[in-house]
Amino acid sequence: MESAQTNWWDRFGEITARARQERPLLLLLTLLATLALVAGMQWPGVLAGWLLLLLVVVARKPIPAPEAERQIVVEDEPVFDPMPQVAATLAALDMPAFILGQDAIVLFQNKAAERALGALPTGSHLSARLRSPGILDMVRETIATDEPNQIEHSERLPSERVYTLRIAPIDFGRRIGRQPDQAPQKLYLLSFKDISELRRIDRMRSDFVANASHELRTPLASLRGFIETLQGPARSDPAAQERFLAIMFDQATRMSRLVDDLMSLSRLELKSHIAPDQTVDLKPLIGHVRDALLPLAEDLGVEIRTHLPEGKVEVLGDRDELVQVFENLIENACKYGQEGEVVDVYVRNDSAEPVEVSVVDRGPGIPAEHVPRLTERFYRVSVADSRSKKGTGLGLAIVKHILTRHRARLIVKSEVGKGSEFTVRF
């Protein structure tokens, strides 16, 4: 009932609008009717004719409104305020974002922006929070030209971060404004993409290349030096030749160890996202690693003791990679913990706890500040000590990569003067 009433009301509105639009024609009709009356025609005939012509006019297609009148119709449209929807969308975004009006006034700031840069009252100028002339120039240019712009910017507080800032006009495809009589408003989206992690990875990559080249360059330079000596001053000195060739052999072996470790790392990186799916019993595996390291342990005067539980100790893994993990850990314990003379390997398989393997030495231990960095590539507590023990500085980095692929963790506990404990928890 109510909708029928609304229809009639709408229809009446349409007819009056049409009548207003057809004002000149209606005036002409009324003039003709008056002339007909003056000329002596009967009024019922004149009225019938007037109504008939009126019907013809109303039934005709509406004439498009002239340009000026159309603009007025647009101004009569309900005011379009996109802020609630835009704010709701940006609130769900996890990257810092601002909506700016003309004159760089902040109309909205999402939670991520509040966390990264601190809260800014709505209606403040952007410069109240971001004072960098580069950013303000960029914002000014976009507001003036309506072209998107971007810039790189770093923040020191609350923590050191690098961002790519981008500003772009938002095109809603229609006029926006809070009041019909206000000038159309323009909105701009200022977003912050955090590239700190990318930068860190970039730096790590270039450090890695620099370190790898340095590690290879040292033995290469020494090889070249000995070759020159052998070609020149030591040409006819068999004793020197024998000594130099032994050193050259050591250097070449060091280079090939380094290349092998680098290849291992890059192979592991390629499959880091694929979890291994073989079932591996750790008891025979640890026994195999101990046997393989016996000659080295004997050379160093170290005893490797294994402490194994009853029954199998099975984990999901890649056998060869797990051999590499325990070889690295037990070899390190023998090399660096040598003074303690005993290296204990504990395999734990309590049903309520995760499977664990701990390698414990009673060597000099590792100062606390080095512990968090031990698994970085080429990180060594003492480079000279590592080199003298034929280390490459990549062993624990390889261990960490393998364990990540196995969804396992490496836990390092060490006390200076007492020794170190490297635990793998599956």
- Give residues in contact with ligand ADP (CB under 6 A): 328, 332-333, 336-337, 361, 363, 366, 374, 380-382, 386, 391-397, 420
Cβ atoms 138, 165 nearer than 8 A: yes
3-state helix, strand, coil in the chain (%, to 5): 55, 15, 30
Joined together, the tokens standing for residue 312 give 């199998």
Please give the backbone phi and psi of residue 78, each rounded to the nearest 5 degrees, phi first: -60, 145
Shortest reach from residue 386's CB to ligand ADP, in Å: 3
Shortest reach from residue 264's CB to ligand ADP, in Å: 12
Cβ atoms 336, 364 nearer than 8 A: yes
Judged by beta carbon, residue 219 or residue 393, the one nearer ligand ADP is: 393
Strand partners, 100: 106, 188
Cis peptide before 158 (omega within 30 of 0): yes
Shortest reach from residue 297's CB to ligand ADP, in Å: 13
Q: Is residue 99 classed as helix, strand or coil in its secondary structure?
A: strand
Shortest reach from residue 226's CB to ligand ADP, in Å: 24
Judged by beta carbon, residue 110 or residue 414, the one nearer ligand ADP is: 414
Cβ atoms 50, 33 nearer than 8 A: yes
Shortest reach from residue 280's CB to ligand ADP, in Å: 22
Shortest reach from residue 336's CB to ligand ADP, in Å: 3
Shortest reach from residue 379's CB to ligand ADP, in Å: 6
Cα–Cα distances (Å) from 27 to 20, 55, 71, in that order, read 11, 15, 26
Residues ≥6 apart with Cβ < 8 Å to 32: 50
Joined together, the tokens standing for residue 32 give 């003709």
Shortest reach from residue 296's CB to ligand ADP, in Å: 13
Residues ≥6 apart with Cβ < 8 Å to 102: 143, 185, 186
Largest Cα–Cα separation, the chain: 147
Shortest reach from residue 272's CB to ligand ADP, in Å: 18
Q: How far apart are CA 297 and CA 299, in angstroms?
A: 5
Judged by beta carbon, residue 24 or residue 417, the one nearer ligand ADP is: 417
Shortest reach from residue 344's CB to ligand ADP, in Å: 12
Shortest reach from residue 369's CB to ligand ADP, in Å: 13
Judged by beta carbon, residue 362 or residue 406, the one nearer ligand ADP is: 362
DSSP string covering 268-300, please?
A: HHHTTTSPP-EEEEHHHHHHHHHHHHHHHHHHH
Judged by beta carbon, residue 241 or residue 423, the one nearer ligand ADP is: 423
Which amino acid would we find at residue 61?
K
Judged by beta carbon, residue 22 or residue 421, the one nearer ligand ADP is: 421
Judged by beta carbon, residue 317 or residue 391, the one nearer ligand ADP is: 391
Judged by beta carbon, residue 191 or residue 358, the one nearer ligand ADP is: 358
Sign of CA dihedral 298, 299, 303, 309: negative
C-beta atoms surrounding 325 within 10 Å = 28
> Which residue is it, tokens 């040598």?
338
Please give the backbone phi and psi of residue 340, each rounded to the nearest 5 degrees, phi first: -75, -20
Judged by beta carbon, residue 276 or residue 340, the one nearer ligand ADP is: 340
Judged by beta carbon, residue 57 or residue 265, the one nearer ligand ADP is: 265
**For residue 360, how many C-alpha atoms fall within 13 Å in the half-sphere facing its CB?**
12
Extended strands (E) in 234-383: 278-281, 303-307, 314-317, 342-348, 356-361
Strand partners, 419: 415
Judged by beta carbon, residue 44 or residue 417, the one nearer ligand ADP is: 417
